[in-house]
Amino acid sequence: MRNIIKTAVVMLLLISPAIKGSAQTHKADDILGTWLNQEATGKITIYKEGDKYFGKLVWLRTPLDSITNLPRTDKENPDTKLKSVPLIGLVNLKNFTFNGKEEWSGGTIYDPKNGKTYKCYIQFESANRLKIRGYIGVSLLGRNTFWTKSFMQETK
């Protein structure tokens, strides 16, 4: 039995570098572009300023408020001065840095649906799909959302 366990451990150690080596690594700017949110209700353009990454809302499926027929605003924002800010153009991803391999982290994501800001990290799930993890405190206390690459670029 011991020999079987030793053999299994040795095999795992031998194939571990091959598995790690097969993990896809990304370039920092791979994240740039316009992404459709999971609900397909908004598009966010991720851009770079210096060595940090940001995202702003550039398109909404429903851009006008149903009551006022004016552009929708950030009415859920806890800061009363910001409630009248239009949603289109709103920067909702802030201050992300790339770790050199697979993750953009250290930033925050703002959810205009509830007016809350969360810590966040971003990873590619596939070539055209991002996993966005927003959380409070530690990443275990959060949720994922997935954005897909939008090949129809929006104007800024």
pLDDT in tens, 63-90: 999 999 999 999 999 999 999 999 999 9
Span of 19-33, 38-52, 73-87 with lowest mean pLDDT: 19-33
Structure-block tokens of residue 58: 């550039």
List Cα–Cα distances, 72 to 1, 47, 60, 144, 154, in angstroms. Answer: 67, 23, 9, 25, 18
CATH of the domain at 91: 2.40.128.520
Per-residue model confidence (pLDDT) at position 109: 98
- Report pTM: 0.81
Per-residue model confidence (pLDDT) at position 11: 47
Domain count, the chain: 1
Confirm whether 12 is domain-assigned.
Answer: no
What domain range is 54 assigned to? 24-149
Residue 19 has pLDDT above 90, yes or no: no
